[in-house]
Amino acid sequence: MASFLFYLVPLLMIAAIAVILIGVFNMSKPGVEQRRRANRLMQWRIIIQALAILVILLLVTVFAKG
């Protein structure tokens, strides 16, 4: 389980960076749909970062217990 979590953290970090980059490219487009998409991307980024933090906390507890 610890090895799965160990590999999940970088994947979540890459996913968060990908969402940020998509959001940056999305800002170059004008319109109402762009603002809606930017809001959705921000929500996804927050969710992915929260998951990454939870996985890191799980890893800390797994390794702290031995």
pLDDT tens figures, 8-62? 999 999 999 999 999 999 988 888 888 899 999 999 999 999 999 999 999 999 8
Q: Would you list the domain boundaries of the chain?
A: 2-65
Instruction: Identify the band that residue 65 occupies on the pLDDT scale cut at 50, 70 and 90.
Output: confident
CA distance 37 to 41: 6
pLDDT at 66 over 70: no
Q: Are 44 and 37 in contact (CB under 8 A)?
A: no
The 3-class secondary structure across 21-44, one letter per residue, is: HHHHHHCCCCCHHHHHHHHHHHHH
**pLDDT value at position 6?**
87
pTM: 0.83
